[in-house]
């Protein structure tokens, strides 16, 4: 009973979804063939999530994030507006060039370490990470798994996708900056007008620091420069760091490093969505989005994508919505992509990046008020989705 009382509401959600998904398969609501296909498809994603979180945890313990955070704080020269712009730029570039889930895992500890080093409130820095991990993920196929699916559907190369989505991406980032400043960064929220740049830290174990830093850099370079799957790059980097800690800091290696909640949630979520999709979801989404490829159709598709993402999750929302959009309606599909990328900032489960971010914040001890998270996220979801969709319509 004491174990049950310690469970977080998201733990109950994860377990409930997995149990419901298993029940759907056991009762035949979801045939075993489609269920096996779903589990086979998400297998590499689950491996990536597990290994990249272990990599981030141990890299944090090696104080790599503390050093990077100190560099950012010193570059801000004690001025909050400059620090704000640097954090926005850092989060946006990381998301665009890497992947929103990688940003949530690797950048969140940097931001939280920055708050600790500088002595400022961690929530504004944390919100900068999670919002831009989602809203800055429109420009390139690598930025988001949904982008890879959309680019494949309409045969867009990375340069062609960037040429198509640059205006929506700028609009989404601009709205995100306005919401961040108004809700979290303005002087009335953060209290102080300046901060004192911290001195450079000295890691307690320089060997662990160097090994972890090189492993993270190798992981990022493998994603950027080589045709390496995310799961294999993260697994290789995590193994290097685990071996280093086994030799020099074995006490840090424990089972709690593994993100059990996510490993339970992801399969259950996909099984449930696949079941619902097989029993009428396709028809509902097709009716809600319509078949028009004009501005109205684009706005409808973006709204449905954003709304459905916050009910379940953006990846299954994209997959279900994609199947309901006529093949020739490229603009309508890209508008739906905007909805599932920019819109999932209201609920904690709306994107895997947000779930990863919650894990990082919980590990750090940073408390995120869900009421304020829901309310401010709703403003950003509506304003950002509409602005990005209008920008897409104006430039295509």
CB–CB of 181/84 below 8 Å? yes
Residue 213 — φ and ψ, nearest 5°?
Answer: -65, -45
At residue 6, the pLDDT reads: 65
What does the angle CA 244 – CA 248 – CA 254 come to, to the nearest 5 degrees? 75
Residue-level pLDDT at 8: 67
Q: In terms of C-beta density within 10 A (0-12 exposed, 13-18 middle, 19 or more buried), how is residue 349 classed? A: buried
Instruction: Kindly state the DSSP code that residue 252 receives in the 8-state scheme.
Output: G
pLDDT tens by residue, the chain, 396 residues: 555 566 666 677 778 888 888 898 888 888 888 888 878 877 887 888 788 888 888 888 888 877 887 888 888 888 888 889 988 998 898 888 777 887 887 788 888 888 877 777 888 999 999 999 999 999 988 788 788 778 878 888 888 888 999 999 999 999 999 999 999 988 766 556 777 888 877 888 999 999 999 998 888 777 667 767 778 888 999 999 999 999 988 888 888 788 787 788 778 877 887 887 777 777 788 888 888 889 999 999 999 999 989 987 898 888 888 888 888 899 999 999 999 999 999 998 899 889 889 878 887 778 888 899 999 999 999 999 999 999 999 998
Query: According to the model, what pLDDT value does residue 181 have?
Result: 94
- For residues 267 and 251, what is the distance between their CA atoms, to the nearest angstrom? 31
Give Cα separations from 240 to 145, 228, 237, 352, 374 (angstroms). Answer: 26, 17, 5, 25, 38
As a whole number of angstroms, the distance between CA 285 and CA 118 comes to: 47
- Is residue 143 within 8 A of residue 101, CB to CB? The reply is no
State both tokens at 112: 């939280």
Structure token digits, residue 71 = 């560099």
How many Cβ atoms are within 10 Å of 389's Cβ, its own excluded?
29
Q: Is the dihedral of CA 342, 345, 351, 355 positive or negative?
A: positive
Q: What is the DSSP string of 96-119?
A: HHT-HHHHHHHHHHHHHHHHHHHT
Residue partners of 39: CB distance under 8 A and separation at least 6: 267, 270, 271
Query: What's the count of helices (H) and strands (E) in the chain, helices before strands?
Result: 19, 0
Residue 268 DSSP code: H
**CA 325, CA 328: separation in Å to the nearest integer?**
8
For residue 142, what are the contacts with CB-CB under 8 A and spacing of at least 6?
97, 98, 99, 148, 158, 223
Measured between alpha carbons, how far apart are the two ends of the chain, in Å? 58
Structure pTM? Answer: 0.78
CB atoms within 10 A of CB 24: 21
């Amino acid at each position: 009973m004491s174990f049950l009382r310690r469970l977080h509401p998201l733990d109950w959600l994860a377990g409930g979804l997995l149990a419901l998904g298993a029940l759907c398969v056991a009762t035949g609501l979801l045939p075993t063939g489609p269920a096996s296909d779903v589990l086979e498809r998400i297998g590499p994603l689950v491996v990536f999530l597990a290994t990249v979180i272990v990599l981030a945890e141990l890299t944090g313990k090696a104080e790599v994030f503390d050093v990077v955070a100190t560099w950012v704080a010193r570059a801000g020269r004690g001025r909050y507006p400059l620090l704000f712009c640097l954090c926005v730029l850092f989060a946006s570039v990381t998301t665009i060039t890497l992947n929103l889930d990688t940003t949530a895992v690797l950048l969140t500890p940097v931001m939280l370490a920055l708050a600790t080093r500088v002595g400022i409130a961690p929530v504004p820095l944390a919100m900068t990470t999670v919002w831009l991990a989602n809203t800055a993920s429109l420009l390139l196929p690598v930025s988001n798994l949904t982008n890879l699916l959309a680019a494949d559907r309409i045969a867009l190369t990375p340069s062609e996708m960037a040429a198509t989505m640059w205006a929506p991406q700028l609009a989404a980032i601009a709205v995100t900056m306005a919401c961040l400043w108004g809700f979290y960064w303005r002087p009335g929220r953060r209290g102080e007008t300046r901060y004192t740049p911290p001195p450079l830290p000295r890691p307690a174990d320089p060997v662990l620091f160097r090994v972890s830093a090189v492993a993270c850099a190798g992981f990022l370079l493998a994603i950027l420069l080589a045709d390496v799957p995310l799961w294999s790059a993260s697994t290789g980097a995590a193994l290097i760091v685990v071996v280093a800690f086994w030799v020099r800091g074995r006490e840090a290696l424990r089972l709690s490093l593994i993100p059990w909640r996510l490993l339970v949630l992801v399969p259950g979520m996909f099984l449930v969505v696949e079941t619902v999709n097989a029993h009428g979801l396709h028809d509902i989404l097709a009716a809600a989005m319509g078949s028009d490829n004009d501005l109205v159709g684009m706005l409808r598709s973006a709204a449905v994508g954003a709304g459905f993402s916050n009910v379940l999750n953006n990846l299954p929302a994209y997959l279900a919505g994609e199947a309901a959009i006529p093949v020739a309606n490229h603009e309508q599909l890209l508008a739906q992509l905007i909805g599932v990328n920019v819109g999932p900032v209201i609920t904690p489960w709306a994107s895997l990046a947000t779930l990863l971010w919650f894990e990082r914040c919980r590990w750090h001890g940073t408390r995120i008020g869900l009421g304020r998270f829901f309310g401010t996220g709703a403003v950003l979801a509506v304003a950002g989705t509409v602005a990005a969709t209008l920008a897409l319509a104006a430039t295509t």
